[in-house]
Structure 1
Amino acid sequence: MANEILTQDVAVDFKTGTIELNNADGLKKLVADYAKKYEKLVVTEESYSDDKKVRTDLNKLKKALEDKRKEIKRAYNQPLNEFESLIKEIEAPIDGVTTNIKEQTDKFDQQAKDRKQQQIQSFIDEVCSNKGISSENIQIDPRWLNKSTSKKQWQEAASNAIEIAEADQQRVKQDIQMVKTFAETIGVEPEGYVYQVKKGSNANDVIQRMQNDLSIKQAKQEARKANTKEVGNKRVDLTTGELENLIKRQILFTGTEKQFEQLKRFMNNNNIQFVEGDK
């Protein structure tokens, strides 16, 4: 139907317009000669007024030519402007219909995308479950939802993403274990450092920060020891004069050798004096 309308009913009586400038060559020569007459003009104090008038006359000449050009352009464009306005008026009923159709087809397209996204997510969840890894951080690429992307293509792309995620999760798991082991070795709480690994830091960097933090803490403890003195059952801060009561208590601990080593490191790190013995 659309082609029939175009071939039968859109008949335009159109003739290519022409614009002729009478005596164009002569006018071009007159203007060029007039401009050339002053191209090497040198303004002096004595000729200032006359030279300024020459510039004014040249600008008037240019304005007259520009005004004529604009006048002819408006007249030449008038039929085109009227034709464009008429075509737009004729097109108007089409816009409302196509907009209505597009809104409805868009709904079907979105429903198809939603179904495809659910299918892809189910595939990712199933593969990850079989591998024993989390699918939480695997993002669906918007390009996988395109109609042009076949099932085979998005499955291959998703499988690659899962393999990358699996390797990354394995690396994080290993890094966490390294950090925990090192934290136990030097007697510090691992939670904060494990969190850094989970947020993207690698084990080597975290272990280096752990060592730096411990060095700073130990330096502070040594400085504190140097500035304190025990007098009887009191501990005196030599800088501020503050007194702290020293308390002695006997506590029986039961644990593994490894746990006792961790406990001793904790007490040393926190300046807690103890006497070791078997009972």
Structure 2
Amino acid sequence: MNSLNQNEVSVTNFGVKFTPASLAIQNYDAMVEQTKAIAAKYANLMITERTLKAAKQSRADLRKFRAAIEDKRKEVRREYAKPYDDFKDKVNALTSIIDQAIAPIDEGVKGLEERQRQEREEAVRQEIKTITESRGLEPDDIQYDQHWENKSLSSIERTRQIAAAADFVKSQKEKHEADRNAIAHYAKALDVDAGGWLGLVDQGVEMTDVMARMDAYVDQQKQEAAAEKKRQEAQAAIDALHQKQVGDNTIDTDTGEILEAFDPVDLYHISVNATVEEFDALAKYLDNNVRGWAETDGTR
């Protein structure tokens, strides 16, 4: 590809014939005096209901005078700008020719740079895959860093950074698994369900914090159980004041309602011949399975 050299056209050959223009208001000093006189004429007007109409007319006259001056400025500016506008059109024609030459070169440069970037990205992703697999991880486990694609970054430094990122993720995963196991064992020791507590670990709550919450939960459960037991005992004591035993039935003394009816029982007399060990076993069975029993002769 050819490039510009000293024999070709350059901006040093871009000569411009330019004669600085001069703008001057004829009789400017007289115009200043006239304008001051007009302004002074309308100065310090007292606005009242009687003079309101005249004041509005004065304001309109001043605005008309001011607009006439501004219109003259705009007229001169249009004429003054015509040479520059013509000059600008010629410059734009020149730069357009250069832009047409730049466009395909720019497109080619950008296309090549993009292909090179894609090649660097592919190399980075392949290295990530190799490094993560060696640590039992997935490539998506580490966050991709666009900085790894920079041409200024050496391959050794890039490998070091990717390995450091992978090692950090691996250590975090190992810590997370260890925390889950610790919480599961702690839940078993406290005799509580581990599900919700493991969920807190998965949300990123520190293991020590989760354990502290578990302790607080167990303490609260114990306190609530103790309070419920006391409530039931108090209620039973209150109920006993309004109950009496009639035969095998418990009667509410306020309503006469039968609160608890006992099944009728029969009295049986049995005689047993047994060794001491056999009789002890029988006694334990009777203790656990009948309403009451007693030895009649006191002998074994």
Name the counterpart of 1:249. Answer: none
Amino acid at match of 2:39: A
SS at match of 2:101: helix
Higher mean displacement: 180-189 or 63-72: 180-189
Give me the TM-score of the superposition, normalised by structure 2. 0.58
Q: Find the aligned partners of 1:26 and 1:2 in 2 and give their Cα distance.
A: 59
Partner of 2:15: 11
* Coordinate RMSD, CA, aligned: 3.7
1:145 aligned to which of 135, 149, 154: 149
Please, which of 166, 174, 188 is the counterpart of residue 193 of structure 2? Answer: 188
Match of 2:183 in 1: 179
Aligned counterpart in structure 1 of residue 42 of structure 2, from 34, 38, 43: 38
The equivalent of 1:240 in structure 2 is: none
Determine which structure has greater relative contact order: mean sequence separation of CA pairs < 8 Å that are 6+ residues apart, divided by chain length: 1
Q: How does 1:1-279 map to 2 (within 5 A)?
A: 1=4, 4-7=8-11, 10-185=14-189, 186-188=191-193, 190=195, 194=198, 197-203=201-207
Q: Any unmatched runs of 5+ in structure 2? A: 233-300
TM-score of the aligned structures, taking structure 1 as reference length: 0.62
Task: Give deviations 1:47-72, integer Å, cap 9, x for gaps.
Answer: 11211111111111211121111112
1:59-92 Cα offsets, whole Å, 9 max, x none, are 1121112111111222222222222222222322
The answer to whether the 8 Å contact 1:133/1:169 transfers is no
Task: Work out the number of aligned pairs and report it.
Answer: 221
Task: Quote the offset at 1:135 in angstroms.
Answer: 4.0
Amino acid in structure 1 at the alignment position of 2:94: I
> Structure 1 116/41 Cα, relative in aligned 2: closer, same or farther at 3 Å?
same
Question: Within 2, Cα distance between the matches of 1:179 and 1:30?
Answer: 95
8 Å contact kept, 2:131–2:162: no
What CA distance in whole angstroms lies between the structure 2 residues aligned with 1:112 and 1:10?
Answer: 39
Relative distance call for 1:17 and 1:193 in structure 2 (3 A) is farther
CA shift in 2, pair 1:14/1:32, >3 Å? same
- The AA in structure 2 aligned to 1:81 is D
Distance change >3 Å, CA 149–CA 50, structure 1 → 2: farther
Aligned counterparts of 1:151 and 1:72: Cα–Cα separation in 2: 66
Cα distance, 1:175–1:10 mapped onto 2, change above 3 Å: same
Q: 1:177 to 1:83 in 2, by over 3 A?
A: farther
Give percent identity, aligned residues only: 23
Contact conserved, 2:183 with 2:194, CA < 8 A, in 1? no
What code does the residue aligned with 2:16 have?
Answer: V
Whole-angstrom CA distance in 1 between matches of 2:59 and 2:188: 91
Residues 34-43 or 83-92, more deviating: 34-43
Note the residue ranges of structure 1 that are not aligned, 5 or more in a row.
227-279
CA separation of 1:116/1:21 partners in 2, compared to 1, >3 Å: closer, same or farther? Answer: same
Is the contact made by 1:179 and 1:203 (CA closer than 8 Å) also made in structure 2?
A: yes
Assess, with a 3 A threshold, how the Cα gap between structure 1 residues 197 and 95 changes in structure 2: closer, same or farther.
Answer: farther
Q: Which amino acid aligns with 1:179?
A: I
- 1: distance between equivalents of 2:126 and 2:55? 85
CA offset at residue 43 of structure 1?
Answer: 0.7
Residues 50 and 117 (structure 1), Cα distance of their counterparts in 2 relative to 1, 3 Å cut = same
Amino acid of the structure 1 residue aligned with 2:48: T
